[in-house]
Amino acid sequence: MIIHEDDKGLGFLLGDAARLLRKVIDRRLQPFGLTRAQWAVLAMLASRDGLSQSELADELEIEKSTVGRLIDHVEASGLVERRPMANDRRFWHVHLTEQARPLITQVTEVILATRTEMLKGLTAEQQGRLGDGLAVVKSNLSAALEAATQLPRPS
């Protein structure tokens, strides 16, 4: 009765699901001129406007060079604005523009609809367990990454 797609392994399953999700969202956001990655930036700023690029990189867990390019795009689209900081000229605060607000409310609906569609057929409890499981996996992988990075073993 259970689906048990074990042929390809959980790792591939995880990658496939994530890739599919990106594909679906990219398509649905195309009419808005956005991609999934750009939306992640906007969504973060919607709740915490004025973050610096490095803070954004930390929150989104991607590299700062990637964040820089993403902001180039959304800034070119006029959705975001880099404002210099007075006391420290090294970094910028990234702010949403006026025209971003209405677009964000629209896109949020699309995203939420997609999420419920993606979780169709799962009970609330199953969804919770899925989230818990993914969180465990994520923290295991973070640990593995750090362990691999610090080659100098602390003995």
Partner DNA sequence: AGCATATAGTAAGCAAGCCAACGGTTGCGA
Partner DNA sequence: TCGCAACCGTTGGCTTGCTTACTATATGCT
Which residues would be at the binding site for a copy of itself (CB under 8 A)? 2-6, 9-25, 27-28, 36, 40, 61-62, 111, 114-115, 117-122, 126-142, 144-145, 148
Torsion over CA: 74, 55, 111, 14 (sign): positive
66-85 residues in contact with DNA (CB under 7 A) are: 66, 68-71, 73, 82
- Contact at 8 Å (CB) between 75 and 96? no
Min separation Cβ 103 and DNA, Å: 15
CA distances from 147 to 11, 116, 133, 140 (A): 20, 36, 21, 11
Q: Which stretch binds DNA (CB under 7 A): 49-57, 99-107, 116-124, 129-137?
A: 49-57
4-23 residues in contact with DNA (CB under 7 A) are: 15, 19, 23
Of 47, 87, 116, 155, which lies in the binding site for DNA, with binding defined by CB under 7 A? Answer: 87
Residue 67 burial by CB count (10 A; 0-12/13-18/19+): exposed, middle or buried?
Answer: buried
> Among 127, 132, 101, which residue's Cα sits nearest to residue 115?
127
Closer Cβ to a copy of itself, 74 or 92, answer by number: 74
Closer Cβ to a copy of itself, 25 or 104, answer by number: 25
CA distances from 31 to 116, 122, 149 (A): 20, 29, 40
Of 10, 12, 91, 138, which lies in the binding site for DNA, with binding defined by CB under 7 A? Answer: 91
Phi, psi at residue 80, to the nearest 5°? Answer: -145, 155
Interacting residue ranges for DNA, rule: CB under 7 A: 15, 19, 23, 27, 35-38, 40, 52-55, 61-66, 68-71, 73, 82, 87-92
